[in-house]
């Protein structure tokens, strides 16, 4: 491949990657762990997850579209407790990671 053709191919690949990056930024992520902190006023909580013997704390925000599912049905942030085991799907936003859906898999103390 000639140098000019190779340069064009690299430039095209970079341009294509930059066009697709907004779609990647909106990808959902999932975390499984325990709620370790809740801030009702700020609509914010922290979930701690373990990977290979290491613990990782993920701060997460809530918005009007966030869904919370308790074992008994739909819930609110005020019904969550520190120690609840949860599965959370979240997306990146301008203000940080925000919850799309939070499901309590085992309530604290049960």
pLDDT tens for 44-101 read 999 999 888 899 999 999 999 999 999 999 999 999 999 999 999 999 999 999 999 9
Q: Is 78 helix (H, G, I), strand (E, B) or coil?
A: helix
CATH number at 26-106: 2.40.50.320
pLDDT tens for 19-40 read 444 444 467 899 999 999 999 9
Measured CA to CA, the distance from residue 51 to residue 12 in angstroms comes to: 38
Q: Domain ranges for the chain, please list them.
A: 26-106
pLDDT given for residue 98 in this prediction: 96
Estimate to the nearest angstrom the gap between the alpha carbon of 36 and the chain centroid.
16
pLDDT given for residue 101 in this prediction: 97
How big is the CA angle at 57 (ends 54 and 62), to the nearest 5 degrees?
A: 155
């Amino acid at each position: 491949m000639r140098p000019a053709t190779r340069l064009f191919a690299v430039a095209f690949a970079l341009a294509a990657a930059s066009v697709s990056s907004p779609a990647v930024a909106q990808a959902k992520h999932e975390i499984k762990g325990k709620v370790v902190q809740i801030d009702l006023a700020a609509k914010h909580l922290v979930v701690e997850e373990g990977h290979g013997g290491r613990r990782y704390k993920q701060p997460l925000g809530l918005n009007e579209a966030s869904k919370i599912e308790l074992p008994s049905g739909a819930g609110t942030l005020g019904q969550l407790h520190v120690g609840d085991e949860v599965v959370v799907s979240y997306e990146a936003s301008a203000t940080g990671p925000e919850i799309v859906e939070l499901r309590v898999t085992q309530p604290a103390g049960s």
